[in-house]
Amino acid sequence: MNHMQSIRKTGVRSSLKRQAGFDLVQISVAVAIIAFIMAIAFLAVPTVMTNIKVNAETGDLQQMVSNAGRVAGTGADLSGLNAAAAINLRLAPPDRVFGGNINNRFGGTVAWALSNLFGSNDGISITSRGYGPEACSKLIPNVQTMFTRITVGSTVVKNLAAATPVPLSATGMANACAAANSQDIVFEFTR
C-alpha cells in the first residue's frame, strides 16, 4: 500500500469515528424539544378532558329529560320523586347509577324532585352537584334549551316561568359559574 492510500484510509476512519453517536449539544436540543412538547400537552389535557366530560354530561342530561318525559307522559304518579325513584323508573343513564346514588360525570351527585314552575308540582328538578367553573360555563349553553329554569348556586340564570320570562343571561351565568370552585346547578323543566 502506498503512502497516499494510507492517508486516505486513515482520513476516512478518523472522520467516521468523529461522526459516530450524538454530541451533548444535539442531545440537549432534542431533550428541550421533547420537554416543550410535553409542557404544551400537559397544559391542554385538562381542557380536553373537561370538554369530553361536558359532552358526555350533555348527553346524559338529554337522556334524563327524555326518560322523564316518557314516564310523565304515561300519567305516572311522580309525587315523592327522588334519586331512588329516578333509579327505579330508569330516568338516569344506567352507567351513572352507583348503588343508591346517581353521579354526574364530574363526581358529584344528582338529586331529583318535583318543582313548581307555572303551577303546583308541574315541573321536575334535577340538581347536579360539583361542577368546576369551566365545566359549568360550558355545560349550561349546551343544555339550556331543554330547561325552563336554571339556577347556578343561588343565582337564577334562566327563568322562562317568571311573570316576565328571563332568557339565559350569559353574563349572569359566567359570574355565577366563576363564583366558586364547585357549583351546584338546578335544571328544571315542565313535565
pLDDT at 67 over 80: yes
- SS3 (DSSP) at 178: helix
Q: For 12-16, 32-36, 145-149, which range has the lowest pLDDT when averaged over its residues?
A: 12-16
Smallest CA-to-CA distance from 180 within 137, 126, 125, 127 is with: 137
Smallest CA-to-CA distance from 152 within 108, 186, 128, 126 is with: 186
Could you tell me the end-to-end alpha-carbon distance of the chain, in angstroms, rounded to an integer? 101
Q: What is the rounded average pLDDT of the residues 11-40?
A: 77
Query: How far apart are the C-alpha atoms of 178 and 171, rounded to whole Å?
Result: 11
- What does DSSP assign to residue 79? T
Q: What is the rounded average pLDDT of the residues 59-88?
A: 90
pTM over 0.85: no
- pLDDT at position 32 is 92
